[in-house]
Amino acid sequence: MIKTIRRNAEGRTCEICGRRMLAGETYHVMDNRGRRQFRRSVCALCRRRALSSGWEPTQDAPQPAEEPTDP
């Protein structure tokens, strides 16, 4: 069996540390309203640092749909 390594097609880079994220790696979309930077990618390792620096999770990200309840 031959395995192929693929590059991250999106080429996302963390706005905090500058590291290029791996394909399939979890990242967070955040806003830095003080500097008017919106929808910035932040790696999972830098999420706490971004939050402590005043960054906020982007609010217009799709929310999971709620299940309807039977009356």
Reported for 22-25, long-range contacts at CB under 8 A and 24+ positions apart, including other chains, are: none
DSSP assigned state of 20: B
Give the three-state DSSP class for 21.
coil
Amino acid at 11: G
- The predicted pLDDT at position 43 comes to 92
- The predicted pLDDT at position 62 comes to 47
Residue 26 CA, distance from chain mean position: 7
Per residue of the chain (71 residues), give pLDDT as tens.
665 545 554 678 999 999 998 888 888 999 887 777 788 899 999 999 999 988 888 875 444 445 555 55
Instruction: State the residue for tokens 């069996």.
Output: 1
- The predicted pLDDT at position 33 comes to 76
